[in-house]
């Protein structure tokens, strides 16, 4: 590990890239606003954690996960389930019924699998499973109806367990790992693209379930007011030490003003600073998690286990001839990577403070994470982090840049020209084209990315 | 009313809401699945850009037919989109060949692991294509079918037969089924009888041997993309005429299309068609509410009170996924033995 850090700092390229990135972000902070710069940094950190998970799958083992958003959404769900207070009324009304329905569903599936193992007549099994399904569905829809009718404007769902939010990050990872285990178990060992297609499918289904099952996490009605692991802006504004601290920072400027102006100015500063402070708290939290994950995965990668993983990736046939079980190895890695994506998903919802199912747009974010990993250099964890920062920065700033470009054009065009409005309306779709082009260009001209994998030689 | 009339009514109902929609949806999927199969057999990767390519082809048709309508170049009875297809085909072929030249060709030349690189590259192409379509037409849904909507409508059918339940035969359904039959017949004739088709099959079976016997690989690949353009544009247009055009929906078609290909057996054209109909019929049979159907068939005392719908319509994409999972668990080769393990 120490060696690893050393090689990182000795690598002038990596240091240079990160320095440039830092300078650019400081520039944004000075010129636009610190809240914006910190917003970009926080989202980049979350993306970096997600990219780390994908890098473990793709970079370490060549496994394609096209359903990143689905696993991230599972992390988000776990935040709601863990941190929200239970809705006592709904639990009383329909909780037991729903529990029975779910148990019945699980029992049907288990029975089907067990009977199948025994080699009992396929038609009999089908009949049993179908009957079980019909009963489950009947109970289930009744229970869902009851729960959704409990004060639908505010709750209409079961709520969560009311536990500390930090707990949900772990649970998010575990749930995502469970889904990944199931998908991996079925598709790994078959063709590479089966995994890709299955992850695409499972993530769509996860999103459909979240959007449609209101009793579960309120569906399209969103969940607001999730608890926070950091202080609220309002509390910060009212706390004395924070006000004094801000006054101390700006003391030279404030001294020049009159009494009333001083107070007014100070309130402005405190309000701005509270936002920045809260964002900084999040940054600290995310950095701590990211760093510990990187440390752990680097340790793992340099252990005998990591050598085995890379050996399998670089030459599957040879590794298999050496007696390594490739399928179970791939399953381990796939589950591990998805768990990290789940954790990142939970962090994302924690950061937003609300859970919005429609925010999970597979088209955009799955793809962005992919571009981050490939741009940064697949197989290199620091590369993924760098990729996350660069791509998220471009993604956020290309919107305003595109609009600015359009406005430049508009100076040469007639006022209210219809083609101009048309472009302004749709210019953000060009970001997809732009990102696609970046992906293809890197794949074509620099397949190992900005920071190529270091320890290719074992 | 006698019982036999009830039974006929019940089946008229089923034809109208299940059989005809599933036949046309199945035909649309089959055309898309054949395009995926062609790319897979010749270029050796699963084309993730298929759904968005269909959207691109449909976009060309919408733009061209819009121009034609504004000029008054229409045909009575049929949507103008049909007239626009030949021109759109040329555009689509140019786009696909350009993408092949810019993106895929390089990886063929350096003999990369085509499956995994191909998928990644096709994901890149998917986003570029999707972005272009959304930029030009926007992300919201729209309809572009003009002309007569029905070959015969429910009312005409009822007046003609005197039944309580009518069957409507939409123009889009008629076009879909007839064009699909024509295209599939053409594809099989092409692959079995023509010299180029035989060369393609040889190339697909054993690339090295095919190259040794003097088959020009670039030509084979170009012909493949031309066929893909044909199938993609027509599949997309027919789907759009039937259900309306929305980029996100086309993107999601990827799932049922892949399910069809895998269920049938990857690389097998007949398998792709069989798989497509299996997926289409399962999707519609499982999401159809059988209440009315059962009311016709069952005595009054057994009439159902609920909708008798096995799975909510919102989960129709889950059905193709479940089919996919079942096939992978029970018979990973698909119905018509396809290729299961990576052949690099």
Alpha-carbon span A70 to A370, nearest angstrom:
14
Integer angstrom CA distances of residue B138 from A295, A425, B52, B59, B134: 44, 9, 14, 10, 4
Task: Say if the Cβ atoms of A194 and B314 lie within 8 Å.
Answer: no
B151 phi/psi in degrees, rounded to 5: -75, -50
pLDDT in tens, A43-82: 999 999 999 999 999 888 888 888 899 999 999 999 988 8
State the average pLDDT over residues B334-344.
58
Task: Say if the Cβ atoms of A436 and B328 lie within 8 Å.
Answer: no
Q: Which of B111, B122, B123, B134 to mutate to test the interface with A (most CBs of A within 10 A)?
A: B123
pLDDT in tens, B235-263: 999 999 988 899 988 988 998 999 999 88
**Phi-psi category of B247—alpha, beta or left, where left has phi over 0 and alpha has psi -120 to 50?**
alpha
Task: Say if the Cβ atoms of A433 and B116 lie within 8 Å.
Answer: no
Alpha-carbon span A177 to A313, nearest angstrom:
21
User: Tokens 């247009």 label which residue?
Assistant: B237
Give the model's pLDDT for residue B181: 94
Task: Say if the Cβ atoms of B135 and A430 lie within 8 Å.
Answer: yes
Token pair of A23, please?
A: 């300078």
CATH architecture, range B3-330 = Orthogonal Bundle (1.10)
State the average pLDDT over residues B205-232.
91
The closest alpha carbon to A71, from A176, A207, A183, belongs to A176
Q: Is the pLDDT of residue B82 over 90?
A: no
Residues A450/A441, Cβ–Cβ less than 8 Å: no
Task: Say if the Cβ atoms of A200 and B254 lie within 8 Å.
Answer: yes
Token pair of A274, please?
A: 């509270």
Distance from CA of B98 to the nearest CA of A (A): 14
Task: Say if the Cβ atoms of B139 and A436 lie within 8 Å.
Answer: no
Alpha-carbon span B231 to B213, nearest angstrom:
29
pLDDT tier at B177 (50, 70, 90 boundaries)? very high
Alpha-carbon span B57 to B93, nearest angstrom:
9
Alpha-carbon span A122 to A132, nearest angstrom:
15
The closest alpha carbon to A159, from A105, A96, A218, belongs to A218
User: Tokens 């005595």 label which residue?
Assistant: B299
pLDDT tier at B342 (50, 70, 90 boundaries)? very low
**What are the extents of the domains in chain A?**
2-86+159-409+417-445, 88-154
Give the three-class secondary structure for A109: helix
Give the model's pLDDT for residue A171: 93
pLDDT in tens, A325-372: 888 888 999 999 999 999 999 999 999 888 888 888 766 678 889 899
Give the model's pLDDT for residue B344: 35
A198 touches chain B (CB under 8 A): yes
| Residue A167 exposed, middle or buried by CB count within 10 Å (0-12, 13-18, 19+) | middle
Which segments of B72-170 does DSSP mark as H helices, in order?
A: 81-99, 105-109, 114-137, 154-161
Give the three-class secondary structure for B150: strand
B106 touches chain A (CB under 8 A): yes
Residues B276/B334, Cβ–Cβ less than 8 Å: no
Task: Say if the Cβ atoms of B124 and A431 lie within 8 Å.
Answer: no
**C-alpha torsion sign, points A229, A230, A234, A235:** positive
Token pair of A450, please?
A: 């900005």
**What are the extents of the domains in chain B?**
3-330
Please give the helix or strand (H or E) that residue B152 lies within, else none. strand B150-152
Residues A138/A67, Cβ–Cβ less than 8 Å: no
pLDDT tier at A385 (50, 70, 90 boundaries)? very high
- Exposure on the CB side of residue B234, measured as CA atoms within 13 A: 24
Give the model's pLDDT for residue A339: 95
B36 phi/psi in degrees, rounded to 5: -65, -40
Q: Residue B344: its chain A contacts at CB < 8 A? A: none
The residue length of chain B stands at 344
Q: Is the pLDDT of residue A10 over 60?
A: no
DSSP string, B222-262: HHHHHHHHHHHHHHHHHHHHHH-B-HHHHHHTHHHHHHHHH
pLDDT tier at B183 (50, 70, 90 boundaries)? very high
A403 touches chain B (CB under 8 A): no
**Phi-psi category of A140—alpha, beta or left, where left has phi over 0 and alpha has psi -120 to 50?**
alpha
pLDDT in tens, B11-69: 888 888 889 999 999 999 999 999 999 999 888 888 999 999 999 999 999 999 989 88
Q: Which of B131, B318, B330 to mutate to test the interface with A (most CBs of A within 10 A)?
A: B131
Q: Residue A196: its chain B contacts at CB < 8 A? A: 46, 48, 119
Give the model's pLDDT for residue B341: 45
Give the model's pLDDT for residue B339: 59
Tell me which residues of chain A, numbers 203 to 242, contact chain B at a CB-CB cutoff of 8 Å: 204-205, 208, 211-212
State the average pLDDT over residues B99-112.
88
Token pair of B313, please?
A: 């319509």
């Amino acid at each position: 590990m120490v060696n690893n850090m050393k090689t990182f700092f000795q690598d002038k390229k990596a240091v240079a890239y990160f320095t440039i990135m830092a300078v650019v972000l400081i520039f944004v902070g000075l010129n636009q606003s610190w809240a914006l710069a910190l917003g970009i940094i926080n989202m980049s950190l979350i993306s970096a954690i997600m990219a780390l998970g994908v890098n473990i799958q793709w970079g370490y083992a060549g496994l394609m996960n096209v359903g990143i958003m689905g696993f991230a959404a599972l992390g988000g769900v776990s935040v709601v389930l863990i941190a929200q207070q239970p809705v006592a009324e709904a639990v009383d009304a329909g909780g037991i019924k729903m529990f029975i329905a779910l148990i019945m569903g699980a029992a049907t599936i288990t029975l089907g699998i067990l009977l199948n193992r025994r080699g009992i007549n396929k038609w009999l099994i089908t009949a049993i499973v179908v009957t079980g399904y019909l009963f489950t569905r009947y109970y289930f829809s009744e229970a869902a109806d009851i729960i959704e009718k409990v004060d639908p404007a505010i709750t209409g769902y079961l709520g969560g367990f009311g536990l500390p939010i930090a707990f949900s990050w772990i649970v998010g990872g575990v749930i995502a790992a469970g889904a990944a285990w199931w998908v991996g178990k079925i598709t790994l060992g078959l063709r590479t693209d089966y995994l890709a297609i299955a992850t695409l499918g499972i993530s769509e289904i996860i999103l459909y379930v979240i959007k449609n099952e209101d009793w579960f996490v309120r569906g399209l009605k969103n969940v607001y007011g999730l608890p926070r692991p950091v202080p609220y802006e309002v509390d910060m504004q009212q706390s004395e030490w924070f006000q004094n601290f801000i006054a101390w920072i700006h003391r030279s400027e404030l001294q020049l003003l009159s009494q009333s102006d001083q107070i007014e100015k100070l309130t402005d500063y405190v309000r701005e600073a509270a936002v920045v402070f809260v964002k900084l708290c999040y940054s600290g939290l995310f950095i701590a998690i990211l760093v510990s994950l990187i440390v752990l995965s680097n340790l793992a990668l340099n252990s005998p286990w990591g050598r085995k993983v890379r050996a399998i990736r670089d030459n599957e046939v040879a590794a298999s001839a050496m007696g390594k079980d490739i399928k179970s190895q791939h399953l381990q890695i796939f589950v591990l990577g998805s768990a990290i994506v789940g954790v990142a998903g939970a962090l994302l919802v924690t950061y937003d403070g609300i859970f919005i199912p429609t925010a999970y747009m597979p088209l955009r974010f799955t793809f962005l994470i992919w571009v981050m990993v490939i741009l940064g250099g697949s197989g290199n964890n620091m590369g993924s982090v760098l990729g996350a920062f660069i791509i998220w920065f471009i993604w956020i700033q290309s919107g305003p840049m595109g609009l600015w470009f359009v406005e430049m054009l508009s100076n040469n065009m007639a006022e209210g020209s219809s083609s101009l409005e048309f472009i302004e309306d749709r210019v953000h779709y060009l970001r997809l084209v732009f990102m696609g082009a970046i992906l293809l260009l890197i794949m074509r001209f620099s397949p190992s990315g900005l920071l190529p994998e270091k320890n290719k030689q074992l | 009313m006698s019982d036999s009339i009830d039974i006929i009514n019940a089946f008229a109902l089923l034809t109208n809401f299940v059989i005809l929609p599933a036949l046309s949806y199945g035909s649309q999927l089959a055309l898309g699945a054949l395009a995926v199969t062609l790319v897979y057999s010749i270029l050796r990767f699963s084309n993730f850009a298929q759904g968005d390519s269909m959207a691109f082809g449909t976009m060309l048709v919408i733009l061209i037919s819009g121009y034609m309508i504004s000029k008054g170049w229409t045909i009575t009875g049929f949507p103008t989109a049909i007239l626009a297809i030949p021109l759109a085909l040329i555009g689509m072929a140019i786009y696909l060949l350009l993408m092949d030249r810019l993106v895929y060709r390089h990886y063929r030349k350096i003999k990369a692991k085509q499956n995994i690189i191909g998928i990644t590259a096709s994901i890149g192409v998917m986003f570029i294509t999707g972005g272009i379509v959304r930029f030009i037409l926007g992300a919201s849904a729209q309809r572009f079918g003009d002309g007569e909507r029905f070959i015969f409508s429910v009312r005409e059918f009822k007046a003609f037969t005197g039944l309580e339940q009518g069957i409507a035969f939409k123009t889009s359904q008629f076009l879909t089924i007839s064009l699909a039959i024509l295209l599939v017949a053409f594809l099989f004739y092409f692959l079995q009888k023509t010299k180029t088709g035989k060369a393609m099959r040889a190339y697909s079976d054993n690339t090295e041997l095919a190259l040794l016997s003097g088959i020009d690989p670039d030509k084979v690949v170009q012909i493949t993309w031309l066929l893909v353009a044909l199938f993609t544009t027509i599949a997309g247009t027919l789907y759009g005429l039937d259900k309306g055009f929305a980029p996100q929906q086309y993107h999601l078609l990827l799932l049922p299309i892949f399910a069809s290909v895998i269920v049938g057996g990857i690389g097998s054209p007949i398998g792709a068609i069989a798989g497509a109909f299996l997926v289409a019929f399962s999707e519609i049979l499982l999401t159809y509410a059988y209440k009315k159907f059962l009311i016709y068939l069952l005595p009054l005392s057994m009439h159902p009170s609920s909708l008798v719908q096995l799975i909510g319509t919102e989960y129709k994409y889950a059905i193709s996924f479940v089919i996919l999972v079942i096939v992978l668990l029970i018979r990973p080769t698909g119905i018509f033995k396809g290729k299961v393990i990576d052949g690099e």
